[in-house]
Each structure stands twice: as structure tokens, then as C-alpha cells.
Amino acid sequence: MVKYNVEDCKIIELDKHHSDRKGNLTVVENGVTLPFDVKRVYYLYDVPGGESRGSHAHRELEQLIVAASGSFTVVMDDGINKRKFFLNRPYQGLYVKPGLWRDLEDFSSGAVCMVLASEVYKKKDYIRDYQEFLEFRKG
Ligand code: TYD
């Protein structure tokens, strides 16, 4: 299995259609925008100030994380290095490779974290224990 690190995570600029007086529109299309096809979309919202989310890794899932509204920080961790991404634009997405730990923190008021995922929900795909994650990275 390919082992990715935090340098493999990157911000993808999404398609943005301007309209001077009527706002903007961003499109994400399978086969065009992302290195994977989207099977599931979910979003986090109403996160109380000071709370963090995430704190897990996925064994196989790939994701695009978008601040659809407001802002938050995603801290990516490959067991050796950490890398912080501040997301605050609905036309930018953080592409997250499999096998990396993530913490989501510093949610602004009204933040909406939209996640486009390559797979359906599978409980077994999660690693929620940090020590287990470090073992997984060594393996
Ligand atoms: P989780 O992925 O742990 O969210 P976060 O990383 O933001 O804290 O999911 C929170 C809860 O929601 C957990 O009990 C599993 C459930 N859940 C589903 O049932 N289906 C899904 O597609 C997702 C993403 C979560």
C-alpha cells in the first residue's frame, strides 16, 4: 500500500463562476475536478467555539474538505510531520490522501465544513486511537 505524507495534501482551486451582482457558484464534478469520484457528501456545522472535530485517520478514504461557509483549520499529521491548512474560501478544497491523521479546529461562528468522500461510510475504515495510528504508519 502506498504511504502518503502531509506533503501529499494540497489545496485544490475549484471552479468558480462569477456573477457581478448575483454572487458566485462553484462546481465539483466527478471525473473533472478531483482525483477520485465522490460517493458521499456530508457536512459539519453548529460546532461550538473552542471544540475540535476529526481526531482520526482513514485507512482508504480520500476526501476533499471545503469551508462552505466561515473558516476552520485542518491539522494534517503523518506520524512524523504536521501541516496546518486554514480554510476560509468556498472555492478552495483541501485534498486529503488516505492514511493520515486529521484534527479540525478553530471553527468560526457559522462555519460549515463540507466533506466530499470517495467511499460510503465504513466504520472499519477509521483509526481513532493515536497509538494505533502510529503503529499503522510503521506497518
Ligand atoms: P466522525 O466521522 O467521527 O466526525 P468528526 O470526525 O467530525 O468528529 O462522525 C461523527 C459521527 O457520525 C460518528 O458517530 C459516525 C457518524 N457518521 C455516520 O454515521 N455516517 C457518516 O457518513 C459520517 C461521516 C459519520
pLDDT tens by residue, the chain, 139 residues = 789 999 999 999 999 998 878 999 999 999 999 999 999 999 999 999 999 999 999 999 999 999 999 999 999 999 999 999 999 999 999 999 999 999 999 999 999 999 999 999 999 999 999 999 999 999 8
Concatenating the DSSP letter of every residue in 29-55 gives -TTTTSSS---EEEEE--PPTT--EEE
Catalytic residues: 56
Name the residue of 43, 44, 53, 58 to mutate for ligand 1: max ligand atoms within 8 A of Cβ: 53
Q: What is the pTM of this model?
A: 0.96
How far is the centre of ligand 1, averaged over its atoms, from the C-alpha of 85 (Å)?
21
CA of 105 to the centre of ligand 1 (A): 16
Picking from 79, 75, 111, the residue whose alpha carbon sits closest to that of residue 96 is: 75
State residue 21's pLDDT score: 84
CA distance 126 to 14: 27
Q: Is 54 in the pocket of ligand 1 (CB under 6 A)?
A: yes
Eight-class DSSP state of 130:
H
